[in-house]
Every structure is written in C-alpha cells, then in structure tokens.
Amino acid sequence: MKDIKSLTLKELSEELAQLGEPKFRALQVYTWLHRGARSFQEMSNLSKALREKLSQTYSLYCPTVARRLVSQKDGTVKYLWRLEDGNCVESVLMRYHHGNTVCISSEVGCAMGCAFCASTKGGLIRRLSPSEMLDQVLFTQLDSGLPISNIVLMGIGEPLDNYDNVLRFLQLVNSPEGMNIGMRHISLSTCGLVRRIGDLAKEDLQLTLSVSLHAPCDEIRNEIMPVNRRWNVDELLSACRAYYEKTGRRISFEYAMIRDVNDTPQMAKLLGKKLRGMGAHVNLIPLNDIEESPLKPSLPQTVRAFQKSLEEQGITATVRRTLGIDINASCGQLRRKYEKEQTSERSDC
Ligand code: SAH
C-alpha cells in the first residue's frame, strides 16, 4: 500500500479526486497527517466511509519512542525511534537561544565507512522514506511539547545517498500547509558525494549545505573517509565552489579534530589556503570518542590554536559547543547500544 504521508499536497489532491472526493478533502487529510494523526479513524471531519476507504488504500504509520534520554546538563533530548519494520533511528533535540533544533537521521545505518563514526559500523540497512524523516521532526515536537524551528540533517546516514527521498522530505516539511519550516532554517550535511552536490546546486534551495571535510589533503582524508577515494579533496572543493557560485549560499565545513591526525599547524595552513575565496565557514568539532575506534579528540589548546590560525588566514571558524555530553548525544551511538542490548537479551532466552 502507498505511504500516504510521503505524498505532497498536490499528489494527494490528485489521488483523492480520482476517488471522487471534493477538492477541499485533500487539505483536510494533509492537515491531519502533518499534525501527527496516528490513524485514519482519528480524522473526525471525514465520513466513516472515506476513512474506511483510505485505510484500505493507503498505509499510515507513526514511529514509537524506543528510548528517550534527557540531558541533566542542558536539556538536550535524544530519541531512539522504532520504525514500522522494527529498525531504529535516532534524533536529537537541542535547545539553542535561536530556537529548538532537531537533528534527524536519513538512513538506517550508513554505507560511507568513515573511520570515526559510530553510525556506519554495521553498514547501511536501508534508506528512510520521506515520511519517516518528517515523523522525526513532527513527533519530536509533539513528544517534547517544544515548537521546532530548525532542522539539521546530521544524524545517522548520508542524506545525499538518499537524494530523492530527502528532497521530497524537504518539500513536505517546508510546505505552508504542513510544518512550514523555512529552508533557511534547514542544514544538510554530506560526506562529499560530488555528483549529488552538483544536482543539489541545480535545485537552488535556500538551505545551508554542510560538508564534512575533516582533512585538507588526500593522504589523511583517504585514511579516515573512504568516499575520498571516489572524489578527492580538490574535486570536492571545486564542487563546493560551483555550489557557492550557483546558489550564493555559503558552505559550512565540518572538521572533527582528531589528535595527531588532522590537527597540526601545517594542516591549519593548508585548510586555510584551500578554502580561500568561497565564503567558507569552518566548524571545528572536538572528536567524539567512540568505543569502536582508536582515534582520540584533539587537546583543547590544539583546537584553539587551529581556530586562531584559520582566523588569521581570514577564514571564520567556530568551535562547536558540545550539547548532551552526558547522554552520548552524537548520533549512531544509542542505536548501536540498543541493538547490542536487544541481541544479548535475545541470546539470553
Ligand atoms: N553523512 C553525513 C551526515 C551525518 S554525520 C556527513 O557525513 O556529513 C554528521 C557529522 O558528524 C559529520 O560531519 C560527521 O563526519 C560527524 N561525525 C561522525 N562521527 C563523529 C565523531 N565520532 N566525532 C565527531 N564528529 C563526528
């Protein structure tokens, strides 16, 4: 059965017209869906017969909360959602002064294989549907009671590896009849799928593109990010320049600081040189120590020196404030922990 919540309002209107329904019906159904209705039965302004017909024609599913962890330090909330097929994904709700932000996942697992990342350790299980991405925003808002104003696609998965579904999700979450979250309040992070960056540039969306660079040279980037062997640093950066020129939107570069790997003064110099003239902003993130990797975070003084060097070269650089440290808020970790627990529970019985 077709997933009704992944349809745009226009598509829903066309489908309902074919079922012989009047024009205004589609907006009624769309409104219910985008307010988090869990079943067609709840849609009390539709006739019983139509509700019946819809439930025979379409599937409607909402995730359930498998785990909810609340940081005692800063109010960050981490959700582990159970999807229809039993797979789980994570979202993180962060409370910033500029508004409540939810970080969502785009895939179950990830195929990209970055050495430092927990999300990729079990490989890619499957891609999420548009409605499964929308639900993470919608149900985080409903569960927390906090209005969500910003979205970052920086959770589990590679959004540009799930390109069509991600674009459709953006259309849904941005729709005025739905959650109406402005494109300027949405960031999308990629490990650097160059061809897709080109496709995205053509869409000319007002969102913020974040690129996970993590190293300015191929020797290091090849070691920590396998995607670099497909598209190297220079190819990636020229796609970024083209994106900037086409959209006029500044790109934000993520740089996880890994002790004695990518944090030397020479790397800061090279990074500054490579990013010149493209309005780049660098986000320095002290590496999050994960169980599965021997890589360690840089020392705070090294991070500060790296930032200073970039700024001296005219590149704006910020050090990411870490939220939810007490709840392991970086994505990927909770899902893996939960899976391990479930496996050991299963093998116990
Ligand atoms: N696949 C996308 C988005 C998901 S990861 C991407 O690669 O951009 C979101 C960000 O967290 C990326 O910049 C990623 O490189 C970074 N990241 C993953 N594991 C990390 C860790 N252990 N410490 C710090 N940053 C990490």
Query: Does residue 306 contact residue 268 with C-beta atoms inside 8 Å?
Result: yes
Contacting residues for 30 by C-beta, under 8 A, at least 6 apart? 9, 12, 177, 178
Q: Which has more confidence, 288 or 151?
A: 151
Angle ∠(249,252,257) on CA atoms, nearest 5:
170
Task: Decide if 2-59 and 64-348 have a common fold.
Answer: no
> According to the model, what pLDDT value does residue 325 have?
65
Average pLDDT value for residue range 25-35:
98
> Looking at the predicted structure, is the pLDDT value of residue 120 above 80?
yes
Average pLDDT value for residue range 39-58:
97
Strand partners, 211: 190, 253
Going from the Cα of 124 to the center of ligand 1, the distance in angstroms, rounded, reads: 15
In terms of CATH architecture, what is 64-348? Answer: Alpha-Beta Barrel (3.20)
Q: How far apart are CA 153 and CA 143, in angstroms?
A: 20
User: β-pairing, 2-3 with 124-127?
Assistant: unpaired
| Residue 342 pLDDT grade (very low, low, confident, very high; cuts 50, 70, 90) | low
Q: How far apart are CA 69 and CA 80, in angstroms?
A: 9
Going from the Cα of 146 to the center of ligand 1, the distance in angstroms, rounded, reads: 26
Average pLDDT value for residue range 248-270:
97
Q: How far apart are CA 288 and CA 214, in angstroms?
A: 13
315 lines ligand 1 (CB under 6 A): no
Is the pTM higher than 0.85? The answer reads yes
> According to the model, what pLDDT value does residue 200 have?
98
Query: Does residue 173 contact residue 179 with C-beta atoms inside 8 Å?
Result: yes
What is the 3-state secondary structure of 97-129?
CCEEEEECCCEEECCCCCCCCHHHCCCEEEECC
Token pair 């969102």 in the structure block, residue: 207
Average pLDDT value for residue range 208-222:
98
158 lines ligand 1 (CB under 6 A): yes
154 lines ligand 1 (CB under 6 A): yes
Looking at domain 2-59, which of 3.40.390.10, 1.10.510.10, 3.40.50.1110, 1.10.150.530 is its CATH number?
1.10.150.530
Contacting residues for 310 by C-beta, under 8 A, at least 6 apart? 268, 271, 272, 282, 316, 317
Q: Supply the residue whose CA is at minimum distance from atom 20 of ligand 1.
A: 117
* Whether residue 14 lies in the annotated active site: no
Average pLDDT value for residue range 31-55:
97
| Residue 346 pLDDT grade (very low, low, confident, very high; cuts 50, 70, 90) | very low
Going from the Cα of 251 to the center of ligand 1, the distance in angstroms, rounded, reads: 16
* Whether residue 349 lies in the annotated active site: no
> According to the model, what pLDDT value does residue 345 have?
47
Domain ranges within the chain, ordered by starting residue: 2-59, 64-348
| Residue 269 pLDDT grade (very low, low, confident, very high; cuts 50, 70, 90) | very high
> According to the model, what pLDDT value does residue 3 have?
98
pLDDT tens-place string over residues 282-332: 999 999 988 888 999 999 999 999 999 999 999 999 998 776 666 666 656
| CA distances (Å), origin 75, targets 68, 285, 331 | 12, 20, 16
> According to the model, what pLDDT value does residue 239 have?
98
Side-chain half-sphere CA neighbours of 89 within 13 A: 31
